[in-house]
Structure 1
Amino acid sequence: MIDREGLDKPFIVKDYIFYMFFNIISASILGKSYTMDDPELKRFKYVLMDVGHEVGARFMLWDFSSFIRLLDRRSVQKQQQILTEMSLMIRNKFKDHYADYSDAIERDICDALITAKNEALREGKEWAPYLTDDNLAMSAMSLFLGGISTSQNTFQWIVLLMCYYPEVQRKLRQEIETQIGDRMPTHEDRNRCHYVMAFIAETLRFRNIIPIGVPHRALVDIQIGKYAIPENTSVAVYHGIICRNDKDWHKANEFIPERFLDSEGRYITVRSKAYIPFGVGRRMCLGEKLAIADLFLVLVTFLQSTRHYNIVVESGTGIDADPNGSQHMTAPIYKVAFSTII
């Protein structure tokens, strides 16, 4: 970023964050990384990110109303075409793995899926018939859809909050310098970087990027307060409200990473029941541990690579960069600049 944008020159950081997390996911799933100018990467970005902004939140109503789908039929058709294109791109890349696949080494998740399929067929497992190439390719696509958007959106909040609160940025850098230095971070470093972990936890609480969880089904008739919930009713949990209600959180609408530290400054691993950024019950997010691990490694590496600079958020340009002023799950568009530490 610094090489491309220079010092003391504000720029929108959003695309850089997307490319960073896309390459992390792509390398893990497909074993391939891209340069920022790669046409295929730009197409992936449009399919994964830009088309969603074109449609807006209205697409959430399509599942509930055939009339709205009829009114939005052009957008619905475009969305279907985009998803078809995305699935075809992933399917082709998955099948390309067969050309140089070896069961002696697993280069990425696609290789691991092929290995799982071959083992199931060889051992006559009852689920083997379901491990078709199309189904496995869709599993890889689900990882793309579920991993890139959420992680990069969370990291946009992380950068904005870190810039908006310079003291927080200073504490993060100080802990990383003390506990890790300039070596490559590992997963074990999470046990030493208590403030970094508390900062990530508070970001997930304070700006929950998926405030409404996936639907659940009521297994029996139940009464919740004054509301009667019949059996088989679809029920969704509003994470965003629970993560920021005054009953469960002291100064709930303030960003305070220290709330996740004990009296000795150690990261509190025992969670409050109201801390549910990844959902609840059997349908909670399966990628919680992976997401936190990735956010930790990326944040530490990012701060290590910029240790000679302050990262500041641009002000006075008409862009509302106040993270406290947005109640939406998507981070506002903002600009940052790198300045040399004097």
Structure 2
Amino acid sequence: MISSIAGEHSANMEILSTSTLLLIVCLIFLILSITHARKHQSKGRLPPGPTPLPIIGNILQLNGKDLFKSLNKLSEKYGPVYTIHMGMEKVVILCSCDAVKEALIDKADDFSARGRMPLLERISSGGHGVVSSNGERWKQLRRFSLMTLRNFRMGKKSIEERIQEEAYFLTEEFRKTNCQSVNPNFYFAKAVSNVICSVVFGSRFEYGDKRFLQLLALLHESLRSFSSILGQMYNVFPKVVEKIPGPHQKSFKAVHDIHKFIEERVKMHKETLNPGSPRDFIDCFLLKMEQEKDVLQTEFHMQGIVHTTFDLFSAGTESVSTTLRYGLLILLKHADVEERIHKEIDHVIGRNRAPCMEDRSRMPYMDAVIHEIQRFIDLAPLGVPHKVTCDVHFRDFIIPKDTTVYTMLGSVLRDPKQFKYPNEFKPEHFLDENGKFRMNDGYMPFSSGKRICLGVGLAKMELFLFFTTILQNFTLKSLVDPQDLDLKPKMSGFGKVPPSYELCFLPR
């Protein structure tokens, strides 16, 4: 009996001591957490924001189907600069043209780093390439890429001539439809992709090339998945979502397959490389790799060439092709705008020669329409996240070093201080009282500052030449009453996906 009591007492003491130990560990952990939080707070005075829940932060206050709308709504309560918790990470949100310009232009160096975005980190193998990288790696890759795109003319054809050629092939494809209705999605993807393919790979693909079509399908799959709800959740809880089946897993596989394709092209280029006559971006990168083969910390290696080429290929294909198909949908709804464009084209260019970039200065209405299309569709409403490179005094706050910052480009493009009718399609936003083209400070579809889109010049050239060539040759016909056309995107996450539609191309 006594031994039984003694045993029970001993067991109770053991349980008590274990419980006490656990309690002590929990208290120590709590003290360390509070100390860390206070230490972090002492470094900065972050803007106010909604109160977060433990672990999940403010996720329940965000609509996964329209993340921008949720964040913009919060700015109505907390102002143009506020803090939100994406899970356990504190993120500063900038809404309004003034706030974004102050960060990206007035304090360009302070906001020049790439912010934390696990999806980008995952597909860039931890920050390779020019989009996801930071520090010296980013500086070297961006400088090299800009210099190559600006100065390299790839043989006897200029980039403008390559776009003109592709615009001709595209119009011939539309002519083959014989006025029958078509979905323009893959037509634009093939044409636009061929432009960037000629720049990075040295040649275009035939529109029926199976490998080319597979490549475009992979790219479309990956970018569509990244805007899905699970894709957005990956950026908040990557370790959890990584283990969940869903569309994001297919997108990772798609990106991997595109990387494999690029690796194959790099190997082909190595075998046929002529150092005295580089043919394209890959050749130039290979020559730079050879120059720096003995440099220990070089950024010009196999991972660098694959990921930088992927960045150029993906961004150069999707953004322009999406703008083109969204733009035609808008013109279908606004027949008066299309009619006015036709008159300007006939007056400046006529029907017998191909449009060229010199025409743009004499076509203010066409220029204004393209700028307004980009503003209205707001293709990347959240932009790509930035990160501050040091403790930054911003307005009445202090943003600690390495804090992720979302510069809400959509809030700039629809800022009522910049645009009289922010939610309506009005080319007049970019025209003065005399009908001449006028730039607006709120035009920021390519972002701004140090991280402005690498291919902004190429994209602007493509948009003008493709839009003008199409409308020089065709009148657009909707299958439904234009008033019934819905311009709302069918998906709006980190990027917008326009609604599917069909139209007829009627030769002029």
TM > 0.5 between the two? yes
* Alignment match, 1:240: 410
CA spacing shift, 1:180–1:3, aligned 2, 3 Å: closer
1:298 maps to 2:298: no
1:173 maps to 2:345: no
Distance in 2 (alpha carbons) for counterparts of 1:337 and 1:315: 11
Deviation at 1:57, TM superposition (A): 4.2
Which runs of structure 2 are paired with 1:94-173 in the superposition (5 Å)? 94-118=266-290, 120-121=291-292, 129-173=298-342
User: Which of 476, 499, 502 in structure 2 is aligned with 1:332?
Assistant: 499
User: Which of 180, 186, 211 in structure 2 is aligned with 1:40?
Assistant: 211
| Contact 2:489 2:497 survives alignment (8 Å) | no
Q: Which amino acid aligns with 2:380?
A: I
| Contact 1:91 1:138 survives alignment (8 Å) | no
SS at match of 1:129: coil
Deviation at 1:301, TM superposition (A): 2.0
Deviation at 1:28, TM superposition (A): 1.8
1:61 maps to 2:225: no
Distance in 1 (alpha carbons) for counterparts of 2:249 and 2:507: 49
1:27 maps to 2:27: no
* Alignment match, 1:217: 387
Unmatched 5+ stretches in structure 1: none
| Contact 1:320 1:334 survives alignment (8 Å) | no
SS at match of 1:93: helix
| Contact 2:194 2:204 survives alignment (8 Å) | yes
Quick check: 214-223 or 282-291, which moved more? 214-223
CA spacing shift, 1:173–1:35, aligned 2, 3 Å: same
Deviation at 1:231, TM superposition (A): 4.1
| Contact 1:321 1:333 survives alignment (8 Å) | no
Distance in 2 (alpha carbons) for counterparts of 1:127 and 1:248: 49
| Contact 2:488 2:498 survives alignment (8 Å) | no
CA spacing shift, 1:313–1:96, aligned 2, 3 Å: same
Tell me the TM-score normalised to structure 1 length.
0.85
Which runs of structure 2 are paired with 1:276-287 in the superposition (5 Å)? 276-287=444-455
Deviations 1:197-220 (A, max 9, x none): 111111111111111112222332
SS at match of 2:355: coil
Deviations 1:171-214 (A, max 9, x none): 22222222223323332222222111111111111111111112
Bigger radius of gyration: 2
Distance in 1 (alpha carbons) for counterparts of 2:506 and 2:296: 56
* Alignment match, 2:378: 208
Deviations 1:112-146 (A, max 9, x none): 3234444x349x8x698332244223211110111
CA spacing shift, 1:316–1:256, aligned 2, 3 Å: closer
SS at match of 2:277: coil
* Alignment match, 1:259: 429
Distance in 2 (alpha carbons) for counterparts of 1:214 and 1:231: 18
Distance in 1 (alpha carbons) for counterparts of 2:453 and 2:229: 21
Distance in 2 (alpha carbons) for counterparts of 1:127 and 1:203: 46
Distance in 2 (alpha carbons) for counterparts of 1:326 and 1:70: 25
Distance in 1 (alpha carbons) for counterparts of 2:187 and 2:398: 47
RMSD: 2.8
Q: Which amino acid aligns with 1:135?
A: G
* Alignment match, 1:312: 477
CA spacing shift, 1:172–1:112, aligned 2, 3 Å: farther
SS at match of 2:497: coil
* Alignment match, 2:438: 268
| Contact 2:225 2:251 survives alignment (8 Å) | no
Distance in 2 (alpha carbons) for counterparts of 1:241 and 1:121: 43
| Contact 1:313 1:337 survives alignment (8 Å) | yes
CA spacing shift, 1:255–1:135, aligned 2, 3 Å: same
CA spacing shift, 1:135–1:232, aligned 2, 3 Å: closer
* Alignment match, 2:136: none
Distance in 2 (alpha carbons) for counterparts of 1:104 and 1:199: 43
SS at match of 1:130: coil
Tell me the TM-score normalised to structure 2 length.
0.59
Q: Which amino acid aligns with 1:332?
A: P
Q: Which amino acid aligns with 2:386?
A: H
CA spacing shift, 1:80–1:326, aligned 2, 3 Å: closer
Deviations 1:234-272 (A, max 9, x none): 110111122113233101111111221223322124x31
Percent identity over the alignment is 24
* Alignment match, 1:195: 365
Deviation at 1:70, TM superposition (A): 4.4
CA spacing shift, 1:41–1:326, aligned 2, 3 Å: closer
Unmatched 5+ stretches in structure 2: 1-172
CA spacing shift, 1:340–1:216, aligned 2, 3 Å: closer
| Contact 2:188 2:321 survives alignment (8 Å) | yes
Distance in 1 (alpha carbons) for counterparts of 2:340 and 2:256: 46
Deviation at 1:11, TM superposition (A): 2.0
| Contact 1:199 1:257 survives alignment (8 Å) | yes
Q: Which amino acid aligns with 1:314?
A: L
Distance in 1 (alpha carbons) for counterparts of 2:373 and 2:247: 33
Deviation at 1:32, TM superposition (A): 2.4
Distance in 2 (alpha carbons) for counterparts of 1:214 and 1:84: 21
CA spacing shift, 1:61–1:228, aligned 2, 3 Å: farther
* Alignment match, 2:184: 13
